[in-house]
Amino acid sequence: MKNYSTQSIRNVVLLGGTRSGKTTLAEAMLFEGKVIDRRGTIEAKNTVSDNTEVEQLYQRSIYSTPLYTEFMDHKLNIIDAAGADDFIEGAVLGLNVCDSAVMVVNAGQGVEVGTEIHGRYADKYGRPVILAVNQLDTEKANWDNTIDSLHQAFGSKPVIIQFPVNAGVEFNAFVDILKMKMYRFKDDNGTREELDIPADLKGKAEDMRAELMEMAASSDEALMEKFFDAGELTEEELHKGFKVGFDKGEVYPVFCTCGKKDIGVKRLMEFIIEVAPSPKEEVNAPTSLFVYKTALEQHLGDVTYFKVMSGKIGEGQDMTNMATGSKERITTLYAVAGKKKEKVTELVAGDMGCTVKLKAVKTNQTLNAPGNDKVIDPISFPPSKYRCAIKAVDEKDEEKLGEALNRASAEDPTLVVEYSKELKQTILNGQGEQHINILKWNINNNYKIDIELFAPKIPYRETITKVANATYRHKKQSGGAGQFGEVTLLIEPIVEGVDTLGKFKIDGKEQVMTIKGREEFPLPWGGKWEFVNCVVGGAIDASFMPAIKKGIVQKLEEGPLTGSYARDIRVFVYDGKMHPVDSKEIAFIIAGRNAFKEAFKNAGPKIMEPIYMVEIMVPGDCVGDVMSDLQNRRGIMEGMGTEKGFQILKARVPLAELYKYSTTLSSLTSGRATFTQTFIEYQQVPMDVQEKLLKAYEAEAKEEE
């Protein structure tokens, strides 16, 4: 493989809905560039992109696949992204490291869910988009309906560059308005002939070209002047004017393709080379690499995929990992086409490739040559939308499962794994139920571990609503030295801006605490607690105060109601007793813990639950169903709005009601809605919910006895 300059490189991400034909189109692009000599098919399970066992089993793209092809003395780096929102990682990383996008649209379906979602991301990242209307050879192909759906989704941005002559099962020709030629294909291998436009289509093509010239001229004053004077623009001038709007994301050129029969693929690639932007990375600067993907591949081990952000990289070059400070040597360089790796000697700024067997490099890290301290901004992946707990069926596999999960999350940043000490569960956070089910398949089949997926526990909090006091005496005598400690304490809720200053009514009598010491402790799980020493007359020696605090903290960590963390409680220790021989630290730990527990149960205890702000982007015709479902989930509407033809719903929803919400929302809207969820606060649960939680905790405690 020859070496390419930055100006001869194009980086393109393939976007679009599931089964729009991205992988088949990529196959044709690689075939045209002679990277492969035979095109594979989804059905035969031999495409370059969908090369994993699970993708071949489900016959769909799941992972992002880096590819390349060579055409017209240019190198095209391609990332084939999965269409489903559950596997959005590929589209997001592709839009971050590529300079333009080809949005593939199924001519039989028009704009689908994946098209809309990927279109929003392309707009967010400001990437120019080419629309490739694909599968024009199918029985259901409908060009006019597809164009209508494109305008509904993207407004005036879609601009027709080509139109089919005979869409449907006989499709073999299209008219190109830029070239003012008709291309007809003789076989299924891209063999084409360039013909004059037939007389019955000539008028239509000329009218469309006039509109195209006017649009191109409007982008540049000199072109506008030329157009008004001559009434015509050359193909080169058309490209120049077209490129301005394209680069700004104001124009989405529309092309005709059939990846399966290699129709229109060469022309699409020509346009990418002629109009799509080349990389903007710095050529004459110290070398810097950005790692956008890592994977464990059979026969190769750890593979690190990167983009050269500046300078150039060669074999044997030493680099520094800016995240860890560790040194890495680039021993081998490859251009990547799925599993096919073509060895190269160097890669320049803007190019993409991979290397193997680096020591400890992760996604989103920067590797620099000595003397370069620049750090590339990491890719920000979408927050998780699906949460579940996982465990090995056989406890002996837990360590092995942990290793598998660590590997999976390293390869897929949208999969977040956490062990909750509070819940005593391993929690998976992903993009949806499909996302997690694919992980389950991999663990079952590649790691040979049987696992269970189930609803995670909810991180409830416990607190109090009124004042209560209690006394607890711990007395133990067993032959030798005994244990004795007695603690009397009072608790009250901490309310911001309210302080009782130690004045209470206890057993009907007014009592004012003599405050000798007051400490405030922030809690790792949110909120705080306060310890107030009000002991006078030496009832409890000061040396036992740390033990009493330790006992209280033990019950804060395991609340008396459901075992959840407790918070926002002020504790006054104001009396107690000691024994000159038997009083020990352990006695006051136990006395403090149990006095707190008894007072807590009499202080109007409440369970608090995490509340999330859920923001949903939903089609207008689905709003009623979505709002009804939110009400059933104890959701409280906070507002509504509109954005690009979608309704935006905002609601406060308890986390306990959000299990599998992404699956339900997809079902209610045929996959067209998306949402985000963000923790905002803790609120008291309704009384009926609290009663259910208390009963469930009691039943669980009995089972463990």
- pLDDT tens digits for range 64-93: 999 999 999 999 999 999 999 999 999 999
For residue 320, the model assigns a pLDDT of 96
* Alpha-carbon span 668 to 427, nearest angstrom: 26
Least Cα distance to 600 among 525, 503, 686, 491 occurs for: 491
- pTM equals 0.89
Would you place residue 646 in the very low, low, confident or very high pLDDT band (cuts 50, 70, 90)? Answer: confident
Residue 282 half-sphere exposure toward CB, CA atoms < 13 A = 10
For residue 333, the model assigns a pLDDT of 97
The CATH number, out of the four listed (1.10.150.120, 3.50.50.60, 3.40.50.720, 3.40.50.300), of the domain defined by the range 8-275: 3.40.50.300
We find that the CATH architecture of domain 608-688 is 2-Layer Sandwich (3.30)
The residues spanned by each domain of the chain are 8-275, 288-320+334-368, 386-454, 462-604, 608-688
- pLDDT tens digits for range 219-267: 888 888 888 888 888 888 888 888 888 999 999 999 999 999 999 999 9
Percent of the chain clearing pLDDT 70 (strictly above): 99
For residue 479, the model assigns a pLDDT of 66
Say yes or no to pLDDT of 450 above 60: yes
Say yes or no to pLDDT of 672 above 60: yes
Contact present, 460 and 609 (Cβ < 8 Å): yes
- pLDDT tens digits for range 600-613: 999 999 999 999 99
Averaged pLDDT for residues 466-475: 95
Averaged pLDDT for residues 584-606: 96
Q: What is the mean pLDDT of the chain?
A: 94
Contact present, 504 and 532 (Cβ < 8 Å): no
Domains 386-454 and 462-604 share a fold: no
Say yes or no to pLDDT of 109 above 80: yes
* Alpha-carbon span 115 to 666, nearest angstrom: 15
Say yes or no to pLDDT of 705 above 60: no
Say yes or no to pLDDT of 593 above 70: yes
- pLDDT tens digits for range 119-142: 999 999 999 999 999 999 999 999
The CATH number, out of the four listed (3.30.230.10, 3.90.420.10, 3.40.50.150, 3.20.20.20), of the domain defined by the range 462-604: 3.30.230.10
For residue 704, the model assigns a pLDDT of 65
Averaged pLDDT for residues 96-110: 97
Q: 625 Cβ partners below 8 Å, 6+ apart? A: 668, 669
- pLDDT tens digits for range 196-218: 999 999 999 999 999 998 888 88
* Alpha-carbon span 643 to 662, nearest angstrom: 20
CATH no. of 288-320+334-368: 2.40.30.10
* Dihedral pair phi/psi, residue 376, rounded to 5°: -75, 135
For residue 218, the model assigns a pLDDT of 84
Contact present, 618 and 630 (Cβ < 8 Å): no
Class of domain 386-454: alpha beta
* Alpha-carbon span 290 to 307, nearest angstrom: 5
Least Cα distance to 278 among 398, 98, 450, 135 occurs for: 98
Percent of the chain clearing pLDDT 90 (strictly above): 83
